[in-house]
Amino acid sequence: MQPDIVVTAPLPPFLYDPLKADYRCHDYYKSSHKPGLLAAEGARIRGLVQGGGTVTATELLDALPKLEIISVFGVGYDGVPVAYCKSRGIKVTNTPDVLTDDVADVALGLILMTGRGFVRLNRFVHAMEWEKRAPELTTKLGGRKVGILGLGRIGKAIAARTEAMGMKIAYTGRKPQAVPYEFIPDLKSLAAAVDFLVVACPGGAATRNIVDAEVLAALGKKGTLINIARGSIVDEGAIVDALKSETIKGAGLDVFAAEPHIPAELLSMDNVVLLPHVGSATRETRQAMGDLCKANLDAWFSKRKVLTLIPELM
């Protein structure tokens, strides 16, 4: 008999269709009567599929007494109550590695777009301004310093890309690593030392709003904030204030606190580049993420094994 699984996020057809072929899927995300769905099917459900940013409430998991595995379609699992899952022996898997390069490309793109003013200059050409005057001069990136908050797989891929452009690299994190980059233990000091502060650490309670008004003040007028990780890590009100008061030079943001909502003030600013959370959004990578998300479920239900268990549960 096909295992019952519940789906709590919108999934692309290249993941959802194969899931439907092998599992009895219950679409909690689209359901207009969620309590009814849980009452009717909850006791049978053995798997849950969610997105990277999806917040899974423990109340939902309480209604799934037979749940064995949560397979996250994404690398971030900040929306999963990990301690709760551990206590119930629920496996949690994610999709690391397959998206690392694409997310790092977006960070590099945001550095180029903000530092070299490419988005503003693109608008300049479209508005026929070039016919009237010379384009602005921007900032040379070679020799500038990038500070990476969270030197994990994605942070390291960002370091490799920016290093190739002749930029200097510093980083902060829980501990120094065996890498040829400068370790600065404290986030505020890192911000003070760099031209681009790149947020690349996991979201969740431990990192909520750690990039706050003080860190942004330390980044200062020379500095640009880049975020490709989670909106929750940066105090969004503080970014708006810092940009409005020109406390920082600019920002390149792919992630936001309440996606897809973006604070109106950010939309009208010229020194901000905004993307709609597209770090992993290439056909190739989303397919690979979908394949891995399903492969984790398949391995669990056929062999009681998973491929990419999250580190906290290892």
* Positions marked active-site: 230, 259, 277
Piece in contact with ligand 8YV (CB under 6 A), picked from 51-59, 61-69, 137-145, 147-155: 51-59
Number of neighbours of residue 116 by Cβ within 10 angstroms? 14
Name the residue nearer to ligand 8YV (CB basis): 145 or 277: 277
Give the nearest distance from C-beta 185 to ligand 8YV in angstroms.
26
280 forms part of the interface with ligand 8YV (CB under 6 A): yes
Piece in contact with ligand 8YV (CB under 6 A), picked from 74-82, 124-132, 171-179, 235-243: 74-82
52 vs 80: CA distance, rounded Å? 9
Give the nearest distance from C-beta 154 to ligand 8YV in angstroms.
10
Q: Pick out residues in 178-207 that bind ligand 8YV (CB under 6 A).
A: none
Query: Are 303 and 69 in contact, with CB atoms under 8 Å apart?
Result: no
Q: Which of 81, 155, 279, 290 binds ligand 8YV (CB under 6 A)?
A: 279
Give the nearest distance from C-beta 95 to ligand 8YV in angstroms.
7
Residues 6+ away with beta carbon under 8 Å from 218 = 188, 189, 191, 192
Number of neighbours of residue 303 by Cβ within 10 angstroms? 8
Query: Are 103 and 154 in contact, with CB atoms under 8 Å apart?
Result: yes
28 vs 9: CA distance, rounded Å? 8
Residues 6+ away with beta carbon under 8 Å from 129 = none
The three-point CA angle 57-294-74 to 5° equals 55
232 vs 203: CA distance, rounded Å? 6
Piece in contact with ligand 8YV (CB under 6 A), picked from 50-58, 139-147, 153-161, 213-221: 50-58
234 forms part of the interface with ligand 8YV (CB under 6 A): no
Contact flags string 86-125 toward ligand 8YV, x per CB under 6 A: -------------x--------------------------
Give the nearest distance from C-beta 183 to ligand 8YV in angstroms.
25
Piece in contact with ligand 8YV (CB under 6 A), picked from 36-44, 45-53, 235-243, 258-266: 45-53
232 forms part of the interface with ligand 8YV (CB under 6 A): no
Give the nearest distance from C-beta 304 to ligand 8YV in angstroms.
25
75 forms part of the interface with ligand 8YV (CB under 6 A): yes
Provide the sign of the torsion angle of the four alpha carbons 190, 192, 194, 195, taken in this order. positive
Residue number of the CB closest to ligand 8YV reads 74
> Which CB contacts under 8 angstroms, 24+ apart, belong to 178-184?
179/151, 181/148, 181/151, 184/147
73 forms part of the interface with ligand 8YV (CB under 6 A): yes
Beta bridge partners of 183: 171
Binding residues for ligand 8YV (CB under 6 A): 9, 51-53, 73-76, 99, 277, 279-280
